[in-house]
Chains A and B, each alone.
Chain A
Amino acid sequence: MSAADYVHGIRQGDRNVLARAITLVESTHPEDRALARQVLSLCHPAPEETLRIAVTGAPGVGKSTLIEALGKRLVARGQRVAVLAADPTSIRTRGSILGDKTRMPGLGLAANAFVRPSPAGIVPGGVSHAAQQAIQLCEAAGYTFTFVETVGAGQSEVAARHITDVVLLLVLAHAGDELQAIKRGIVETADIITVAKADGTAASLSKTTQRQYQRSIRLFPPGPSGLRPRVLTCSAVSQDGLAQVWKAVEAFEEAIRTSGHLERNRTVQARDWVLQAATDALRDDFLQHPAVKERLRQMQEEVARGKRGPWAAAEELVRTYRCA
C-alpha cells in the first residue's frame, strides 16, 4: 500500500487500514518508518474537537476496567472511542502478553470503538513515541476520544503527559495514616486522581484515602493547567462514581479549552515532537547506512576485545557517517 492508500483508507474509517497503519508506525523496519512519516504527514492536521486521555496507575489498579466502563458509556451515546494500550515486554525474550482484548471485552467488540494493545517493546523513543503517532491516526480515522493506557511506573506517566490532554491517575485505597505515595510528581502529572475499586469492604477506606489526597495536594502549587487535580472515588463493579469521573474529565476539558491551555499544550507538544521525529529519522538513516553498518560491527568487536573504549568507538562511527 502507498502512503496515499493508507490515508484514504484511514479517512474512510476503514478499521482494517487503521490497524495496519498502526503496525506501520510501530515498525522498526527503516522502509516502514519512512513510509510511516509520509502517512503521518498526510494525516496532518488532526481534527480539532478531539480529546486525548491518559489513564495511568500501578499494574492491577483497574485501568482497563475503568476504560471499558467509561468507553462503553461514550459508545452508547454515539461517540467513537479509540483505546491504545501498552503491555510490558520481557527484556529477556522480547515477547509480550497483550491482554487488553480480554480486559475490555465489551469495548473490543463495539462497532464504534477501536482497541489496540501494543507491546511496550524495546522501541526507540519508548512507548509514547508510537502511541503519539497512533493517536494521530485514530483521530484522522474519526475517533473523537482516544484513551492511552500506560503501565504506571513513574517514567511512563511523565511520557503520557507529553502526548495527551488530560491525565487520569488511578490509585488504590491505602491503609495507614499518612500517604507515603503522595509526591510532588503526582500532582504535576495528574489532572484527575481517582481512588479505584471503591466497593465492598474497601468503600469506606477509599473515602479516607480520597480525603488524604485532597488534603495533600493543597500543599503543592497547581500544575501547568492552572488547576489543582480533583480527587474522586469510583468502582467499575458497582458502577458507583463512574458518572462523576467522566463529569470531571468533561469539566477539565471545558476549563482548558476555555483557558486556551489545551491548544497551548498541544502546540508545545508538537514543538517537542519535531526534535523527536528528526532524531528518529536521523537514527534510522545512521543505522541503515552501509558504511556505518560495516564499521559498527568492527567497532563493537574492538570494544569487546578491549582495543578501544566505547566512547572512542562512537566518535569513530559518527565520523564515518559524516564523511560518507
Chain B
Amino acid sequence: MLPDFTSIPYRTARHTPRGSVRRAPWMTPEGTPIKSLYSEADLQELGHLDSLPGLPPFLGGPYATMYTGRPWTVRQYAGFSTAEESNAFYRNALAAGQRGLSVAFDLPTHRGYDSDHERVLGDVGKAGVAVDSVEDMKLLFEGIPLARQSVSMTMNGAVLPVMAFFIVAAEEQGTPLHALRGTIQNDILKEFMVRNTFIYPPGPSMRITRDVIAYCAAHMPRFNSVSVSGYHMHEAGAPADLELAYTLANGLEYVRASLEAGLNIDDFAPRISFFFGIGMHHYMEIAKLRAARCLWARLIKPFAPSNWKSLALRMHCQTSGFSLTAQHPLNNIVRTTAEALAAVFGHTQSLHTNALDEALALPSAPAARIARNTQLFLAEEADVTRAIDPWAGSYFVEALTGKLMQRAWSQLQEIEEAGGMTAAIAQGIPKMRIEAAAARKQARIDSRKDVVVGVNHFRAPGSKPPSDLMTVAHEAVLSQQLQRLNRVRATRGPIVVRQVLDGLRAAAQKPRANLLEWAVRAARARATLGEISQALEQEFGRHEGTVPLAAGAYLAESPGTSQESLALSDHFAALEGRRARILVAKLGQDGHDRGARVIATAFADMGFDVDVGPLFSTPEEVARQAVDNDVHVVGVSSLAGAHAILVPQLVEHLRTLGRPDILVILGGIVPQEDHNALLEQGIAAIFGPGTVVTEAAAQVLRLLLNEHHEPVQR
C-alpha cells in the first residue's frame, strides 16, 4: 500500500556515510583499505593472475567450461514438520525447476534425540524435519529416485544415524551405494566454533567425521563425504578473511585426520566440498570465492596428490540470513538477488537463495517460490552464464582477491602456529575472534555506520509482516512422530536391536572399527536415532562446551551510542543497591548463539551484570538459574521457533518458584502474530531482528525502573 504523501513533511533524506566522495580509503570489516580508483598498477605484484579455469590453482573455477556447459545447481535447503510433508514440498520444488535437494533436519535430530525425549518436545519438527528412524527417512524420499537425485544433508552431530538411515533407505529403494550422489555436511569442527549442534567431545567427534569420510571413500565414490562450512561462521559474524581462513583450516584438519587413518589423499580429497555464506559486500564475496579455490590448491599441493581433482575446491553457497530484515520483508528479495549474483560471479557449483520471510519464520510456499525463481532469473534470463570467470582481470577484483588471500593466509598461520584447528578451538582462538567481529558489526549497525535500508537508514512507516507466514502444527507433528516411533519399536526384533547396539558400543572402543558400518547395521535393525546416539554417548560422553565471553568489543566500536543506557544503568544501580542483572538464556535445542552472545557482551558493556546460561536448557532449568542468581530479567534468544511453547513455560516456572517479579524478555525471530499471545502470557517485551542493542538495553532498564522504583521521565 502506498503511504499518504500529503501527510509526510517534505525533507530530504539525510546524507548517508557513503553519500560523499571520500578521499581516504574506506576500511572493510576485514581491515582491507578500499581505494576509489584501481588501475593496472594494482596488478603489479599479484602472483595469481596467470591461471585458467579448470586448471590448478582453479582461481577462476574448478571446471574448464563452467556455466557455459551447465549452470550451477539450484539447491534449496528445506525441511519441516514430518517426513510426509517435507516429501511433498520436495516433489513440488523439483517439479518447479529445482535441481538438487537439501534436507534441513529438526534440532532434536541434530542433537541425537528421538522425538519423544523429554528435553526436546518443544523443538520437534520446528526448524527442520523430524527423523527418528529409517522409516522416516524412507518416507522423506518416497517417489524420489535416489539413484538420479542428488541429496545434500546438513547433519553433523548425529551424522552416523542419519547417514546410516539414508544408506538403508536407498538400499531398500533398490539403489546401489556406489550410485548415490549428494553431500553430507559432516563438518564437526565448526560446530565447536559457532553452530553448537555437537553431541560428543571433540576427540570422538573427529573420529566420527573421519569414519564417515573413510566409509564414503570405500563405498560411495560419488558422494561428498564432508562439506566444510564457512557459512555458519559468516552468519556468526566472521568477516571474509576469517571465514576463509577458518574454513580452509578445518578442511586441512580433516585431510590430516584422514591421512592419519591410512587413506590416500586421492581417495577422499576430490570428495571434499565447501560451503560459503554470501553477504552484501558484493565484491568482497566474489573475491572470497575466487581466493578460496586458489588457497585450497596451495594447501593441498604439499600432500602430492596425483589426481588434479584433489586440488579443486568445489562449493555450495547460500545467501546470508543475517542480512535479511524483519522490517519490510519484500526488500529481502532485492538483498538476496544482489547476494546471489555475487555467488554466481564467484562461480559457485550450487546455490541456495533465502526466502523473503526468513527473518520472520520458515519460508512460506510463495516466498520459497520467489527465492527459487531468483536463481532461475539469473541462470536463464540475465545472461550471466555466457562467459567464464567474468571478473577475471578486473583491476579492483583481482587486487581485492590478492589482498584477501594475504589476510586469510596470515589468519591461517595463526591457527597452524596454535597446532592446527583442533588445538586452536581448545584455546578458544576462532570463537573469540569471530565474536569480537560480531560485536563490532552490531555496534556499526547500531551507530548507523553500516547502512541497513529500512532499518537504521531510510526508515519508512507501515512495514507490515506478510500475512501468510508458514507455521508448523506442532501438536499434530509431535503426535504423528510419537505414533510412528512407537510402531517402529513395537514391530522390530528387540534382541537384534540390542545386539547391534552392543556391537556399536564395542566398535566405539576399537579405534580401527568404522562406526558408520556399525550404525548401518543398527539402522537396518530399526534402531532409532536416539538409541544409536545414546549407545555412543555411553562410550564418549556428551559434550558441554563453552568458551568464556570477552566484554568490550561492542563499546570499542561505538563508544558514543551507549551513553543513555549507561546513565540509566547507573541510576538503577544507585536505587537498587546493585547493577541490573540479566540472565541471557537459550531454550531448547537451538545452538545458534550469535544473538545471545552479542547481547551478553553488549549488555555488559552497558553496565549490566550478565549471567550467561548454558545452551540447550529447559524452561525449568532456566527458571532455576534465574532464581538462584536472583536476576532482575531473563532474556531469551530464540531463532528456531520453539519460543511459543517454551517461553510461556519459563514464565510459569518462575511463578511456581515464587518469583513472578523476574521479567522475561524475548529476542530473535518471533512472528508478529505471536506477539500478542506472548505479551498476554506475561512476556515483558519482544525485540525482533534489527533492534538497536543500546535501545533495547535502555528499554529494559526503563521497564525495571517502572517495576521496582518510581517511573522515570524520558
Contact = CB atoms under 8 A, between A and B. Distances in A.
A154 interface: no
B408 to A, nearest CB: 27
Contacts of A16: 627, 657-659
A108 B625 contact: yes
Nearest to A109: B621
Contacts of A29: 575-578
Interface stretch (B27-35, B376-384, B487-495, B604-612): B604-612
A272 B325 CA distance: 59
A114 interface: yes
Contact of A99 (B548, B552, B630): B548
A115 B583 CA distance: 14
A61 interface: no
A230 B603 CA distance: 42
Give the interface centre of A94, A99, A101 by most chain B CB atoms within 10 Å: A101
A19 B628 contact: yes
A101 B627 contact: no
Interface in B619-676: 621, 624-625, 627-630, 657-659
B605 A95 contact: yes
- Interface size bucket, A side? 35 or more
Contacts of B630: 19-20, 22-23
Report whether over half of chain A's contact residues are helix, strand or loop; otherwise say mixed.
mixed
B628 A15 contact: yes
Contacts of B609: 89, 95-96, 98, 119
B279 interface: no
Given A19-B629, A95-B551, A101 B607 contact: no
Contact of B612 (A19, A101, A116, A119): A101
B607 A102 contact: no
A119 B345 CA distance: 50
A15 B657 CA distance: 10
Nearest to A123: B578
B549 interface: yes
Interface in A101-124: 101-103, 105-106, 108-109, 114-117, 119
A20 to B, nearest CB: 6
A101 B629 contact: yes
Contact of B628 (A28, A99, A116, A119): A116
A287 to B, nearest CB: 12
Contact of A109 (B573, B577, B624): B624
Nearest to A100: B611
A16 B661 CA distance: 13
Interface in A20-70: 20, 22-23, 26-29, 32-33, 60
Contacts of A109: 621, 624
Contacts of B628: 15, 19, 108, 114-116
Nearest to B618: A109
A97 B573 contact: no
A93 interface: yes
Contact of B603 (A23, A33, A95): A95
A279 interface: no
A20 B576 CA distance: 13
B601 interface: yes
B416 interface: no
Given A27-B578, A101-B612, A116-B628, A93 B566 contact: yes
Contact of A95 (B607, B613, B627): B607
Given A29-B576, A109-B621, A97 B610 contact: yes
A99 B604 contact: no
Nearest to A119: B609
B579 A99 contact: no
Interface string B570-585: 1001011111000100
A22 B631 CA distance: 12
B624 A93 contact: no
B642 to A, nearest CB: 20
Interface in B498-550: 544, 546, 548-549
B694 to A, nearest CB: 12
A101 B659 CA distance: 19
Contact of B613 (A90, A92, A94, A101): A101
A93 B627 contact: no
A93 B544 CA distance: 30
Contacts of B546: 99, 102-103
A321 B546 CA distance: 51
Nearest to B544: A105
Nearest to A87: B609
Contacts of A97: 548-549, 551, 600-601, 604, 610, 612
A163 B562 CA distance: 38
A115 B621 CA distance: 13
A95 B576 contact: no
Contacts of B605: 90, 93, 95
Nearest to B602: A95
Contacts of A115: 628
B566 A19 contact: no
A89 to B, nearest CB: 8
Contacts of B551: 90, 93, 95-97
A277 to B, nearest CB: 18
A102 B613 CA distance: 6
Contacts of B562: 93
Nearest to B659: A16
Contacts of B611: 98-99, 101, 117
B404 interface: no
Contacts of A99: 546, 548-549, 611-612
B555 interface: yes
Contacts of B603: 95
Contacts of A103: 546, 548
Contacts of B600: 97
A95 B624 CA distance: 23
Given A101-B612, A102-B612, A94 B579 contact: yes
Nearest to B615: A102
B557 to A, nearest CB: 14
B627 to A, nearest CB: 6
A52 to B, nearest CB: 20
A320 B355 CA distance: 70
A195 to B, nearest CB: 18
A93 to B, nearest CB: 5
Give the most central of A29, A97, A106: most B CB within 10 Å.
A97
A29 B709 CA distance: 14
B682 interface: no
A239 B678 CA distance: 45
A236 B608 CA distance: 32
Contact of B552 (A90, A116, A119): A90
B54 interface: no
Contact of B577 (A27, A92, A93, A106): A27
B614 interface: yes
Given A19-B627, A28-B577, A28-B578, A95 B658 contact: no
In the complex, which of the residues A22, A29, A99 has the most CB atoms of chain B within 10 Å of its own CB atom? A99
A116 B613 CA distance: 12
A119 B614 contact: no
Contacts of A93: 551, 555, 562, 566, 604-607
B614 A102 contact: yes
Contacts of B577: 27-29, 32-33
Given A90-B551, A95-B609, 20 more contacts: A16-B627, A23-B630, A26-B578, A27-B577, A90-B552, A93-B605, A94-B569, A94-B573, A95-B603, A95-B606, A95-B610, A96-B551, A97-B604, A97-B612, A98-B609, A98-B629, A101-B583, A106-B544, A108-B614, A117-B629
Nearest first, the 9 closest Cβ-Cβ pairs linking A and B are A29-B577, A27-B577, A95-B604, A19-B630, A95-B607, A23-B630, A102-B546, A105-B614, A98-B611
24 contacts: A19-B629, A20-B630, A23-B578, A26-B578, A27-B576, A27-B577, A28-B578, A32-B577, A92-B555, A93-B551, A93-B555, A93-B604, A93-B607, A94-B573, A94-B579, A95-B551, A95-B605, A96-B551, A96-B579, A96-B610, A98-B609, A101-B613, A101-B614, A103-B546
